[in-house]
Structure 1
């Protein structure tokens, strides 16, 4: 099968008060269309930096990132990005947040917004403002807004990190539902091993700084998955065993990369 995203020999170094810090080293990754990839690793290993480079938000690096054969050099609508904070416009209601700069008076926009509201399970909240929504609901609006532009890849940087365990579990189900209905290629960064295994076709395990890909684990389990099942726990133990072998870097300070 062809690849939609290709990362070759990617290296990234930051200048810090303590001197140069290499955040990423020799990253190579191929992602197939419609694939769900999760990235997990210790704090500071460059997971978020990698996601920003894929999004075109950081273009100062060595190596190449290609989306459908085109070099990524800037942000664009074909790369949706979901942050940990929902970043909704507080003065716009749900449907207008999803539409953003597009007019709801356009029939095709109206239809797509209504469809996405159904997909993210927010029927009845179309006129609600962000202050009236829970954290999970706000993230669903942010995901719908990103999907409205039909991105080729949706990048999610710990989108459920600030949510309680119950809401986080619910949002994982919602995200899987969205993925299965749209088959949008998704890459999600997380610190949660259960989340990484539960959502992914493949789990990318990153080593500590400088961030390298330690191992990629294919998760050959059908959906829906049960976290309590023996097969799920076997994959969880495999990822955890790799994670426990990671050595923390010495020196260079504690920089959030």
Structure 2
């Protein structure tokens, strides 16, 4: 049995203001195994992004237990990488300097690692380019390279391809799979796209809303690379869609 990288147990989250109390997450239980790829899908407002931020250590006000390699997560750390919906690159820095972030390229170890990441995300030749000179897909590849630079054990991705066109999105999914296979980093992805979840993942977690709960966890027992129009892929797609159709939410919008 594979070792557990990220363990989320009985996780609950409540937002409180002067006159309202909003229960966002209710007793969430998910284990992310080492070198596993898990996708989380569910309606807007079900707490997917909140769950990811808690796992990243960006929100520590919750009930339950969130552990990385058996140690409670108490804040951000180099063991956890996070990719936001927007690439959040520094517009005044080149690709290589964005990837290095707060580290100096004069350090030969950093320089070597940055070069390795540029090759990994297929941006060789764009080292000196600025974000304004990059496409949306290229910018997200820079963000992924920056997150991977410190060898995180877990990479958390919050709808990183949501703003891309369909062609670029498919290409980025294939690139992410290549990175996952080469880097052997455990990954957890939040998405609204059913095909994306099945194409990438070992398991798909379907969430219910208000408050967010686990509706179903569906194994994806398909070999890579995956054919989106194969009968087995479409069968899994129908299974995920069936689970989503039973989610209690009045404003569901799926990429199907």
Q: Normalized against structure 2, the TM-score is what?
A: 0.95
* Structure 1 alignment gaps of length 5 or more: 251-257
Per the alignment, in what secondary structure is the counterpart of residue 64 of structure 1? strand
| Counterpart for residue 110 of structure 1 | 111
| Counterpart for residue 11 of structure 2 | 10
Map 1:139-178 to 2 at 5 A.
Answer: 139-178=140-179
Per the alignment, in what secondary structure is the counterpart of residue 194 of structure 1? helix
Would the aligned equivalents of 1:208 and 1:249 in 2 still touch at CA under 8 Å?
A: no
Q: Normalized against structure 1, the TM-score is what?
A: 0.95
| Counterpart for residue 220 of structure 2 | 219
Would the aligned equivalents of 1:209 and 1:249 in 2 still touch at CA under 8 Å?
A: no
Distance 1:220 1:107 in 2: 42
* Alignment pair present for 1:27 and 2:28: yes
| Counterpart for residue 81 of structure 1 | 82
| Counterpart for residue 196 of structure 2 | 195
1:91-138 CA distance string (max 9 Å, x none) = 110011101111112222111111111110111111000010011100
1:23-82 CA distance string (max 9 Å, x none) = 000111111101000000001000000000000111111001000011001111111000
Q: How far 1:249 moved relative to its partner?
A: 6.6
Map 1:96-135 to 2 at 5 A.
Answer: 96-135=97-136
1:3-28 CA distance string (max 9 Å, x none) = 11111111101125762110000111
Distance 2:133 2:92 in 1: 12
Distance 2:250 2:215 in 1: 15
1:126-154 CA distance string (max 9 Å, x none) = 10000100111000000000000000100
Select between 175-184 and 100-109 the one with higher mean Cα deviation. Answer: 100-109
Per the alignment, in what secondary structure is the counterpart of residue 234 of structure 2? helix
| Counterpart for residue 254 of structure 2 | none
1:181-203 CA distance string (max 9 Å, x none) = 00100000000001011100000
Distance 1:12 1:249 in 2: 22
| Counterpart for residue 184 of structure 2 | 183
Alignment size in residue pairs: 250
User: RMSD across aligned C-alpha pairs, in angstroms?
Assistant: 1.2
Select between 199-208 and 9-18 the one with higher mean Cα deviation. Answer: 9-18
* Structure 2 alignment gaps of length 5 or more: 252-256
Q: How far 1:235 moved relative to its partner?
A: 0.6
1:209-235 CA distance string (max 9 Å, x none) = 110111101100011101011111111
Per the alignment, in what secondary structure is the counterpart of residue 4 of structure 2? coil
Q: Which runs of 4+ in 1 moved over 6 A?
A: none
| Counterpart for residue 46 of structure 2 | 45
Select between 125-134 and 99-108 the one with higher mean Cα deviation. Answer: 99-108
Q: How far 1:164 moved relative to its partner?
A: 0.8
